[in-house]
Amino acid sequence: MSEEIQKPEITKISPPDRFDLEQQIMECWNVTTDLRHVCEYLLDAPLEVDREDKIANMLLGMESLYNHKFDKMYRTFEHMTTVGLIK
């Protein structure tokens, strides 16, 4: 008896709307909280070995993450202005 392999159904991603843009703006505000966490780590672990490397890695990771978040938000904004949702 052969079993049929069921393919997963692909759902279409709807174009972004103002709620998506609002959510993306709020996510970008997390940068301030993330920076506070790095500062707390800096104050809590002043004598930890390789502290500078860990902090540098945290900051480089944040840079990459927030570059992506801001790029995504800007693409949403561009789409909304192109289709006339923002004038």
Domain that holds residue 52: 18-82
In b/e form, how buried is each residue of 5-41, taking b as 16+ CB within 10 angstroms?
eeeeeeeeeeebeeebbeebeeeeeeeeeeeeeeeee
Got the DSSP string for 47-63? T-TTHHHHHHHHHHHHH
In a domain, 2, yes or no: no
Instruction: Please check whether residue 8 lies inside any domain of the structure.
Output: no
In a domain, 4, yes or no: no
Each residue's pLDDT tens digit, 33-50? 999 999 998 888 777 888
Residue 11 falls inside a structural domain: no
Q: Is residue 22 part of a domain?
A: yes
Kindly tell me if the per-residue pLDDT of 1 is higher than 70.
Answer: no
User: Looking at the domain assignment, is residue 46 inside a domain?
Assistant: yes
pLDDT at res. 26: 93
Between 55 and 7, residue with greater pLDDT: 55
Query: What's the number of domains the chain is made of?
Result: 1
13 found inside a domain: no
Q: What is the mean pLDDT of the chain?
A: 87
Residue 3 lies in a domain: no
